[in-house]
Amino acid sequence: MNLSLALPLLLVVPLLGVVAIALGAAPRKTALWASWINLIPGFLVSGVVLRQGEILYGPEVTNLREVFPVQFRLGLDGLSLPLLWLTLVVTVAAIGVARADVKRAKEYFLCLLLVGVGGLGAFLSVDLFYFFSFHEVVLIPSFLLIGIWGQGDRTGAAWRMTLYLVLGSLVLLVGLIGLVWAVPETARTLDWRVLTETFRAQPIPATQQTWLAILLLVGFGTLVSLVPFHSWAPGGYASAPAPAAMLHAGVLKKFGIYGLLRLALPLTPLGWKEVSWIVGLMLAGNLLYLGLASLAQRDFRWLLGFSSAMHMGTIFLGLIGGTVLGLGGALVLMVGHGLSAALGFAVAGEVGQRAGTTWMQDLGGLAKKTPKLWFYLMIAGMASIGLPGLANFAGEILIFFGAWSAHPFLVAIAAWGVVLSSVAMLRAIRSIATGPISSALEAKQTGDLTGIREVWPFALLTALLFLVGLVPNLILGPARPVLERLLQP
Amino acid sequence: MTRWICPEVLLVLTGVTLILADALIPAGKKGWLPRLAILLSSVLFGITVWQSGQPMLEAWGNLFINDGLSSVFKPFFVLCLVGVTLISVRYPMGREETVRAEFLALPFFSTAGLCLLASARDFLAIFVALELVAISLYLLAAFHRTRVASLEAGMKLLVMGGLSTGFLVMGIAWLYAATGSTEFTRIILEQAGRPASPGLLLAIGLILTGLAFKIAAVPFHAWAPDVYEGAPTPITAFLAIASKAAGFVLLLRIFGFGAFALDSVGWIFRPIFLTMGIATVTLGTLAALPQRNLKRYLAYSGIAHAGYMLLALGTLGESGMGTVVGYLWAYLLATFPVFIFVQELERVHGSADVRHLDGLGQRDPGPALGLTLCFLSMAGLPPLLGFSAKLSIFTTLWSAGEIPGLVVGVIMAVVGLGFYLVPIRAMYWEREPDVVPAQRFPSFLVWILLLAGAAQLILGFQPRPLVRLVERSLAPTVTGIPQEK
């Protein structure tokens, strides 16, 4: 049996779920089944990647002398493998957290599944056309998710986020066009694997590389909420319903970093070096400015939004460190942050459901009233501030070591970033969890998470946070050869 | 013999047949006339597609030619005709019900003109064909005599159309004066390798002005929204798609494929095209934002699309030409279904206000989904067809080094998404409809919209068929002179 068929299967299974829901199947159950079943092809392809290093699906790469040389091709290697699993797991957890009794449940679960498909497709695509398209597919479902099922200033947040992301994507698109156009016509293709080889043999001229790197940085940077292109993120996450925020902050944000790893670093190495001081400034902005801003937040969702955008700074530090260690750390932190952000938003969603508010001053006594929820709140908070044993710590420490020789000053700033995020998160936990039980929690008929049916999404994310934190080699092992190749001149 | 079975002849014959049939059959039995019109137009579409596969053919002493461009656009125009006929039969005519046969027959003549236009390679032939198109459209726009808006639309179209024709005729006259001919081949043979004379430049400038009216490019766009709003919806669709495409076909023929793709002319008109394109995209997009009437909204959206195509055209290269061809097809496939919907919306609600879309996502999920896909395709969001079209515009601009055009295009694409999301938001956001209509949408509409949406998705994901079409249009032999660049 040809296992490479499992790659398109990863996209087909959730799409079948979408069709089934559209035709009237029970929304939550179908979505949940589809996302669980999708783990099976996930395991299959992972086996192949672990054994052979990569797996590909699609027609042979040919130089199409066509107006529009697009070929549908999928691929997976050690770099995209952890992100594939991040997507699969967060999708399962997000749908697990989503309530079946939400209004217009059909469209709700349909949109959630589509967001997941977009993430999967983007991480699996080898052809730049589909790579870009799959990410864009997500915009409309998330526009609707925030607009219809969101809270707070949902209309404003939905518009802002969608238009901002489209602007970023189009800048990115121009960058991609530039990349493809830098290839001589005899070898023109949209396959980034081929492009990598081509440019390795025959690099792009240095000035052009700089321009392309800037376009890619601004484009992908907007998607990752790099300062000053971040303002869509905190509000968007705060207004999104919990499952949408989990998918967006947990998975989709990683697309930008993945793109930079895949394209900017290997294809425009000189340009990336040239612009790395700009990246340094921007990431310092993320760490300090957004760190301070997160201190000022009074709403737990907004706090999570800011802190999630802030941690992108640390990941970028890994990207400009120029060492395999730093890149590996960035990869681990991407996964760790994805899991912890998802857990954080899931908890915030539950708290919001129970108390009717996420204003921290109106909350209190969560630890007494709902101990299980409090436990997962602690895990999410501790992971996010980088407690050893959890995934984020492994990532951060690798990044700090990896970037030390090139950017000691930025590492110092990142350490301050850790302090800021600790202060913000601990204050939040104090005001939510400790003290007397608040009137908001008291008044409502609020139980704890009950039974395995409600707990499992949280437990799943927690278990993985520990797993990655204790054995980061699960990620680093398969990724190492790919990352080393990225840095080879 | 087969040369007489060409779409143009058959279209005229069909039109005459419809009018005669209306005159000859007794009053009580005219019910099947609309069905006959739909049937005949569909058959004609089949014949046109079949014909376009035939070998190249010149006719009437070099006035007309069947080349790649015409073989791609004749099916385009006849497909528009099928759509127009399909919704014309459902257009509520009120007191003018007695003249429905003419309402159905006139688009056939207009389409015949369009097909001639696609083949014409002499400015006289172009002029005659264009008048055939335009005069039928003046009549059709004002057809609803009892509605003031329709009369106003007809009047505006007549005045503006007359003005544009004036420019065109003046241009042709100057052209004849400057070159001694009106035939593409002669002109290009004579002018190749020579600096362009001021007379020739003036002539081309005047012709360009005339055509800019047709495609509603800034600053000759002002007629479009009013006329689109007032004209009967089938005619609006015809104006917005077929008539606009005709303008572009002529621009392609004149500036792209040989005839005036002379360096001596191109260096002057390239910046003009690009400036016009930038202005058109910007104005179309920004002016669309506050629109609340779907027909006006589509008019401005059409202006913006024309701007994108002008930008691509302005690069005056082969890839720009191909891009325009592909973009027009994408525009047709995304816009026509929306017009079909708009007419049904008018039937059910009495007007084409965006407000009537409120809550459609819950009332009628099928049409809502199809409409959403069409709007998103117009906005150029992947993986829909419109994205491939916009992508090739951006690629063309990048490869031609037209960075200002590219920057404006990108920014306006973002703003454009903003206004294409307005109806989507209306359909899905939780707003209850102010009036729930008594009638429901007919089931054929549901299927057409779903089919159109599926086409956007499928062609967007696998644009190969469209690429083939574009490649075919790029293999023209208008003049026998090798392409420049």
Tens-place pLDDT, residues A106-146: 999 999 999 999 999 999 999 999 999 999 989 999 999 99
How far apart (Å, rounded) are the C-alpha atoms in residues A420 and A131?
35
Return the amino acid letter for B310: L
By C-alpha distance, the chain B residue nearest A167 is: B414
Nearest to B425 among A103, A136, A147 (CB): A147
pLDDT at A71: 83
Share of residues in chain B with pLDDT > 70 (%): 92
* Top-confidence residue, B305 or B264: B305
- Would an 8 Å CB–CB cutoff place B410 in contact with chain A? yes
Residue from A133, A135, A137 whose CB has the most chain B CBs within 10 Å, to mutate: A133
Cα-flanking dihedrals φ and ψ of residue A45, to 5°?
Answer: -70, -35
* Top-confidence residue, B475 or A321: A321
User: Does residue B340 surpass a pLDDT of 70?
Assistant: yes
C-beta neighbour count of B253 within 10 angstroms = 26
pLDDT at A419: 93
Nearest to A140 among B376, B418, B474 (CB): B376
Kindly tell me the burial class for residue B482, based on how many C-beta atoms sit within 10 Å of its own C-beta (0-12, 13-18, 19 or more): exposed
- Are B395 and A181 within 8 A, CB to CB? yes
Enumerate residue ranges in chain A where pLDDT < 50: none
How far apart (Å, rounded) are the C-alpha atoms in residues A140 and A159?
11
By C-alpha distance, the chain B residue nearest A160 is: B418
- Chain B nearest-CA distance from A59, in A, is 14
pTM of this structure: 0.91
What residue ranges in B81-196 does DSSP mark as E strands?
none
User: Does residue B264 surpass a pLDDT of 90?
Assistant: no
Find out whether A246 and A341 touch, Cβ atoms under 8 Å. Answer: yes
**C-alpha closest to that of A49 among A22, A27, A74, A17:** A74
Query: What is the mean pLDDT of the segment spanning B78-88?
Result: 93
User: Does residue B481 surpass a pLDDT of 70?
Assistant: no
Which helix (H) or strand (E) covers residue B59, if one does? strand B57-59
- Would an 8 Å CB–CB cutoff place A298 in contact with chain B? no
pLDDT at A4: 86
How far apart (Å, rounded) are the C-alpha atoms in residues A153 and A150?
8
- Chain B nearest-CA distance from A163, in A, is 6
Q: How would residue B258 be classed by pLDDT, with cut points 50, 70 and 90?
A: low
Residue from A67, A71, A218 whose CB has the most chain B CBs within 10 Å, to mutate: A67
- Are B414 and A167 within 8 A, CB to CB? yes
Q: How would residue B479 be classed by pLDDT, with cut points 50, 70 and 90?
A: very low
- Chain A nearest-CA distance from B342, in A, is 23
Nearest to B395 among A155, A170, A177 (CB): A177
Assigned token pair, A250: 């947990």
User: Does residue B268 surpass a pLDDT of 50?
Assistant: yes
User: Does residue B477 surpass a pLDDT of 60?
Assistant: no
How far apart (Å, rounded) are the C-alpha atoms in residues B295 and B345?
11
Query: What is the mean pLDDT of the segment spanning B228-239?
Result: 93
By C-alpha distance, the chain B residue nearest A137 is: B382
Contacts of A122 in chain B (CB under 8 A): none
Q: How would residue B483 be classed by pLDDT, with cut points 50, 70 and 90?
A: very low
pLDDT at B98: 76
Q: How would residue B318 be classed by pLDDT, with cut points 50, 70 and 90?
A: confident
Nearest to A178 among B376, B392, B398 (CB): B398
Residue from B289, B319, B422, B428 whose CB has the most chain A CBs within 10 Å, to mutate: B428
User: Does residue B484 surpass a pLDDT of 50?
Assistant: no
- Are A181 and B399 within 8 A, CB to CB? yes
User: Does residue B480 surpass a pLDDT of 60?
Assistant: no
Q: Which of A452-456, B7-11, B241-245 holds the top average pLDDT? A: B241-245
- Are B410 and A171 within 8 A, CB to CB? yes
How far apart (Å, rounded) are the C-alpha atoms in residues B179 and B200?
7
- Are A174 and B406 within 8 A, CB to CB? yes
- Would an 8 Å CB–CB cutoff place A139 in contact with chain B? yes
pLDDT at B257: 61
Contacts of B381 in chain A (CB under 8 A): 136, 139-140, 166
Contacts of A118 in chain B (CB under 8 A): none
pLDDT at B443: 85
pLDDT at B478: 41
pLDDT at B22: 87
pLDDT at B187: 82
pLDDT at A131: 92
User: Does residue B8 surpass a pLDDT of 60?
Assistant: yes
Nearest to A166 among B322, B388, B417 (CB): B417
Kindly tell me the burial class for residue A327, based on how many C-beta atoms sit within 10 Å of its own C-beta (0-12, 13-18, 19 or more): buried
pLDDT at B463: 83
- Chain B nearest-CA distance from A102, in A, is 13
A386: left (phi over 0), alpha (psi -120 to 50) or beta: left
Cα-flanking dihedrals φ and ψ of residue A59, to 5°?
Answer: -65, 160
How far apart (Å, rounded) are the C-alpha atoms in residues A152 and A159?
13
What would the DSSP string read from start to end of A63-132?
---SSS-----EEEETTHHHHHHHHHHHHHHHHHHS-TTSTTHHHHHHHHHHHHHHHHHHHHB-BHHHHH
How far apart (Å, rounded) are the C-alpha atoms in residues B409 and B281?
7
By C-alpha distance, the chain A residue nearest B372 is: A140
- Are B463 and A147 within 8 A, CB to CB? no
How far apart (Å, rounded) are the C-alpha atoms in residues A220 and B98?
61
Q: Which residue do the tokens 């951006």 mark? A: B394
- Are B319 and A67 within 8 A, CB to CB? yes
**Termini Cα distance of chain A:** 38
